[in-house]
Amino acid sequence: MCGSRSATSANRAALDLATDRIRQASGAIRDVTIDRIPMFHPDLVDDPPDPVATMHAVLQAADGVMIAAPEYAGGLAGATKNALDWSVGSASLYHRPVAVLSAGTTGGGFAIEQLVRTLSWQGALVVATLGISAPRTKSDANGRFTDPATVASIERWADDLVEAISMNPAARLERVTHVVVPFGIDAARFGELT
Ligand SMILES: Cc1cc2nc3c(=O)[nH]c(=O)nc-3n(C[C@H](O)[C@H](O)[C@H](O)COP(=O)(O)O)c2cc1C
């Protein structure tokens, strides 16, 4: 799931790299398009508009989810939060391993914090986070990441998701705890994993 529509999006470039990495590990990728997700409407959660129903279906079928979103004005890009608000009622992210990333000027710390919180609030298991600062200095003229350390960190981020998917429930809970506790989230909220 990409939270930027920019043609030269750094977050999309990071997802492209991670996607290549996961395909190398024989994983199949589905894109979750949020461009046409309307403003969240609490009265429609049981019969959501088509783009929302499609998003739910893709998320529900996924072994794991990668989300890369910009930070705008000190917070998570609004369209991403709006899409995630729709997923609360469907429980489509409940106990699903999720890796979150934000590429942006200052490294997306506020966006990552908000992603971790809102995902944890709906029972998603955030198993990896990554912030990439000053992405334009780490990429070529087409926006593709070229800085070796950044490329390696994105690949490790994707690998962490794949690894978490294949873990037993106890190990996965340990991984989630390690990731979310620094954000002030009590891992007890996830209950027992199966
Ligand atoms: C409206 C707007 C607000 C922004 N606010 C922030 C911010 O609060 N923190 C930050 O680090 N970068 C901020 N940026 C810069 C973005 O991080 C940068 O443009 C980033 O590359 C956006 O992601 P994208 O390339 O995937 O579209 C902002 C950019 C825009 C357009």
pLDDT tens across 31-78, in order?
999 999 999 999 999 999 999 999 999 999 999 999 999 999 999 999
Q: What is the pLDDT of residue 183?
A: 98
Buried b (16+ CB within 10 A) or exposed e, 63-92: ebbbbbbbbbeeebbebbbbbbbbbbbbeb
**Which pair of tokens denotes residue 63?**
């072994």
List of the chain residues with pLDDT < 50: none
Q: What is the pLDDT of residue 19?
A: 97
Ligand 1 center to 104 CA (angstroms): 5
Contacts of 108 (CB under 8 A, 6+ apart): 69, 70, 71, 101, 102, 131, 132, 133
- By alpha-carbon position, which residue is closest to atom 19 of ligand 1? 104
Q: What is the pLDDT of residue 9?
A: 96
Predicted structure pTM score: 0.97
Q: What is the pLDDT of residue 3?
A: 98
9 C-beta closer than 6 A to ligand 1: yes
Mutate to test the pocket of ligand 1, among 35, 72, 80 (most ligand atoms within 8 A of CB): 72
Q: What is the pLDDT of residue 26?
A: 83
Q: What is the pLDDT of residue 56?
A: 96
Ligand 1 center to 72 CA (angstroms): 5
- By alpha-carbon position, which residue is closest to atom 31 of ligand 1? 72
- By alpha-carbon position, which residue is closest to atom 30 of ligand 1? 72
How far apart are the two ends of the chain, measured CA to CA in Å? Answer: 25
Angle at 123 between CA 117 and CA 124, to 5 degrees: 75
